[in-house]
């Protein structure tokens, strides 16, 4: 059987009899063998719990405890699929996620039981891992062996992980055993993962990033993993030193939070070789390597598997890399589907034609996108043919539309420019929030930055930024205005009209900035907001009379309905 068609079940089975340390968690260490044995026991239990004829799906509502990889491995051995349940979801939305994915078993822990209070989950058996009843339930199955691997197909579903945009219910993307095993092996080859490595998993395992980019390559290489219940910037270095971690993944603004911790003289005294993730930004990546001696490699892979950009040594500053060999990637105008012209740069690296060079990344060739669970409309939207967004959705076999903005240079290197949902249109010019954020992140007083659109009173959008100042830095509006003037690549439409000062950047459970919430609140929020009225060069506090004047202008233009409720 070729490596592309291997199963995760086989990888779990191979760890049987391997008595090297395999899993670190809160001072405890399990060998690879004990992990495989624990997975086999849970697989045997699962076979008895799942009703005949039902979709073999289990929901996992856990922090990053050992039970998470144990149940992932158990599902692989038994040919079942794990739906990662997001603990930040509440009430009917949480119930919807569990019922939509047809979970017949829900694995959780006592700390999350209050989330289930009052929910109607018909036909769902709840297992609470940190209880005596759970241990008693598992006891009869101890001694089972992971011998199910030969009967499990590479096409068997293994993951149902939720992805979401700015609107609509989250979609459950499907990942099969073959795709996950191949993704793990690809990263092993790309980064030279060794059996004596340890992967530190501090991003939540209900999200594809931690499982696909951290757990899977460790499993494929026979490397160990170290778990952290939830990401902690203050506990990061102590953890990696304690378990000898050599690799970690990050998403969102985790790197900014690590850089915001007080610097110490021994920060570079750590075993890490590299970090792999997305959206750290060139400035923060350089600062991270300077301070901790750890190289951050920015990568890109659509969570659904439809497109990937391979990291390329020697790539230009800011570039992720080139398309993976199997992909036919293009950057296209989402309205016309015409390919965007290549990027034009100034001598200092500024992008000069962002308005026309930035477009949506599409994969025009065959790709491993495996669809969403019970969501044909979302499948069709992803797989549209070469027609614009406004056109009729195509069927399977069309282009794969990533929903992400990129631009491409003349040598084929691709640069991330944000989510399609994070595009702004200011004075008829299209702007990417991520590019403005990368510029504002240079401000020495900012620990974290988010840029998003608020409606303009006349037409289009205005730029709003949320800034979390570094500890003790505060916000100096005059210094900030001077900083903006000194940025050579800050276009005339990019300067924020509104600046919201937050004590801590609001983030989702996966440590991505909660842009939907920021946009929803706009400039009428509880935090202090500074603004620069049209025609003025200085920032001043946005007061109630200012807000009343703005609202009157929106009303006069018939655009008040575009504003979130105050």
How far apart CA 200 and CA 213 sit, in angstroms, is: 11
Return the higher-pLDDT residue of 345 and 263: 263
pLDDT at 252: 62
CA torsion 428-429-434-437 (nearest 10°) is -90
CA angle at 553 for the pair 547 and 557, rounded to the nearest 5°:
145
For the chain, the domains span 3-180, 315-422, 427-562
The CATH architecture of the domain made up of 427-562 is 2-Layer Sandwich (3.30)
User: 433's torsion region: left (phi>0), alpha (psi -120 to 50) or beta?
Assistant: alpha
Structure-token match 């191949």, residue found: 182
Token representation of residue 98? 């569990």
Question: Strand 295-298 and strand 300-301: pairing?
Answer: unpaired
- Tell me which residue has tokens 């059987």: 1
pLDDT in tens, 289-310: 999 999 999 888 887 989 999 8
Kindly indicate the confidence band of residue 251, based on its pLDDT and cuts at 50, 70 and 90.
confident
* 164: confidence class by pLDDT, cuts 50, 70, 90: low
Angle (deg, nearest 10), helices 32-49 and 67-78: 60
Which pLDDT belongs to residue 165?
A: 52
Check: CB of residue 222 under 8 Å from CB of residue 195: yes
Q: Bigger pLDDT: 122 or 438?
A: 122
Give the alpha-carbon dihedral of 312, 313, 314, 317, to 10 degrees.
60
Per-residue pLDDT at 96 exceeds 70: yes
Please give the C-alpha separations between residue 34 and each of 29, 66, 351, 408, in angstroms, as whole numbers.
10, 11, 53, 47
Architecture of the 315-422 domain: Roll (2.30)
Q: How many residues make up the chain in this entry?
A: 566
Residue keyed to tokens 């049987």 = 16
The confidence band for 244, taking pLDDT boundaries of 50, 70 and 90, is very high
Contact residues for 279 (Cβ-Cβ < 8 A; gap 6+): 251, 252, 253, 298, 416, 434, 512
Q: What is the pLDDT of residue 489?
A: 77
With cut-offs at 50, 70 and 90, classify the pLDDT of residue 2. Answer: very low
Asked whether residue 565 carries a pLDDT value surpassing 80, the answer given is no
Of residues 516 and 229, which shows the higher confidence score? 229
* Backbone φ and ψ of 543, nearest 5°: -105, 175
Closest CA to 231 of 213, 263, 256: 256
Q: pLDDT at position 127, please?
A: 98
- What does the pLDDT look like over 362-420, one tens digit per residue? 999 988 899 999 999 999 989 987 755 544 443 335 899 998 889 999 999 998 887 77
Structure confidence by residue, pLDDT tens digits, 554-563:
888 777 767 7
Is 355:460 a contact under the CB 8 Å cutoff? Answer: no
Asked whether the beta carbons of 191 and 183 are under 8 A apart, the reply is no
Q: Classify 119 as helix, strand or coil.
A: coil
pLDDT value for 566: 57
Average pLDDT, the chain: 90
Rounded distance between C-alpha atoms, residue 86 and residue 301, angstroms: 21
Query: Which stretches of 472-524 are assigned E, i.e. beta strand?
Result: 498-501
pTM of the model: 0.81
- pLDDT value at residue 151: 83
Domain 3-180 and domain 427-562 have a common topology: no
Pick the range with the lowest mean pLDDT from 58-67, 94-103, 143-152, 356-365. Answer: 143-152
Q: How confident is the model at residue 427 (pLDDT cuts 50, 70, 90)?
A: confident
pLDDT of res. 419: 75
Nearest Cα residue to 179 out of 304, 23, 55: 304
pLDDT at 403: 87
Query: According to the CATH classification, is domain 3-180 in 3.40.50.980?
Result: yes
- The string of pLDDT tens digits covering residues 104-116 is 999 999 999 999 9
Residue 67: pLDDT over 90: yes
Q: With 80 as the cut, is the pLDDT of residue 428 above it?
A: no
């Amino acid at each position: 059987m070729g490596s592309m068609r291997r199963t995760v079940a086989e990888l779990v089975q191979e760890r049987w009899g391997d008595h090297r340390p395999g899993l670190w968690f809160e001072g405890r260490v399990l060998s690879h063998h004990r992990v495989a044995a624990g997975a086999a026991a849970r697989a045997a239990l699962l076979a008895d719990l799942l009703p005949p004829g039902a979709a073999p799906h289990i929901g996992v509502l856990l922090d990053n405890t050992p039970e998470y990889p144990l149940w992932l491995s158990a599902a692989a051995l038994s040919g079942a699929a794990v739906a990662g349940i997001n603990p930040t979801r509440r009430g009917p939305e949480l119930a919807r996620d569990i019922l939509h994915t047809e979970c017949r078993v829900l694995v959780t822990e006592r700390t999350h039981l209050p989330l289930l209070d009052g929910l109607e989950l018909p036909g769902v058996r709840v297992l609470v891992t940190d209880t005596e009843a759970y241990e008693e339930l598992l006891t009869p199955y101890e001694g089972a062996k992971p011998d199910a691997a030969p009967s499990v197909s590479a096409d068997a579903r293994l993951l149902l992980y939720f992805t979401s945009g700015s609107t609509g219910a989250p979609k459950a993307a499907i990942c099969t055993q073959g795709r996950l095993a191949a993704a793990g092996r690809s990263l092993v080859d790309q980064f030279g993962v060794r059996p004596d490595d340890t992967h530190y998993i501090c991003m939540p395992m209900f999200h594809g990033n931690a499982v696909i980019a951290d757990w899977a390559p460790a499993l494929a290489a026979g490397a160990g993993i170290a778990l952290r219940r939830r990401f902690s910037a203050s506990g990061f270095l102590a953890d990696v030193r304690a378990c000898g971690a050599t690799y970690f993944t990050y998403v969102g603004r985790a790197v900014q939070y690590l850089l915001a911790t007080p610097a110490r003289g021994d920060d570079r005294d750590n075993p890490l070789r590299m970090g792999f993730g997305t959206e750290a930004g060139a400035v923060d990546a350089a600062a991270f390597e300077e301070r901790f001696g750890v190289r951050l490699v920015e990568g890109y892979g659509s969570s659904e598997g439809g497109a990937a950009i391979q990291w390329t040594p020697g790539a230009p500053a800011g570039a992720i890399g080139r398309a993976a060999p199997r992909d036919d990637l293009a950057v296209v105008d989402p309205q016309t589907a015409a390919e965007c012209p290549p990027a034009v740069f100034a001598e200092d690296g500024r992008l000069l034609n962002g308005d026309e060079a930035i477009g949506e990344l599409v994969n025009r060739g065959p790709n491993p996108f495996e669809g969403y669970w019970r969501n044909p409309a979302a499948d069709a939207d992803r797989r549209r043919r070469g027609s614009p967004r406004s056109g009729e959705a195509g069927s399977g076999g069309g282009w794969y539309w990533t929903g992400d903005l990129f631009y491409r240079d003349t040598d084929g290197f691709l640069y991330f420019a944000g989510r399609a949902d994070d595009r702004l249109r200011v004075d008829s010019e299209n702007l990417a929030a991520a590019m403005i954020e990368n510029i504002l992140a240079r401000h020495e007083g900012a620990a974290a930055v988010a840029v998003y659109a608020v409606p303009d009173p006349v037409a289009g959008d205005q730029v709003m930024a949320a800034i979390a100042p570094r500890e003790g830095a505060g916000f100096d509006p005059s210094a900030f205005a001077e900083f903006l003037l000194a940025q050579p690549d800050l276009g005339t439409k990019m300067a924020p009209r509104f600046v919201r000062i937050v004590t801590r950047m609001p983030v989702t459970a996966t440590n991505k900035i909660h842009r939907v919430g920021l946009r929803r609140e706009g400039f009428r929020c509880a935090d202090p907001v500074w603004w620069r009225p049209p025609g003025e060069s200085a920032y001043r506090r946005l007061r109630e009379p200012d807000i009343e004047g703005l609202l009157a202008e929106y009303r006069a233009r018939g655009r008040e309905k575009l504003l979130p409720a105050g």
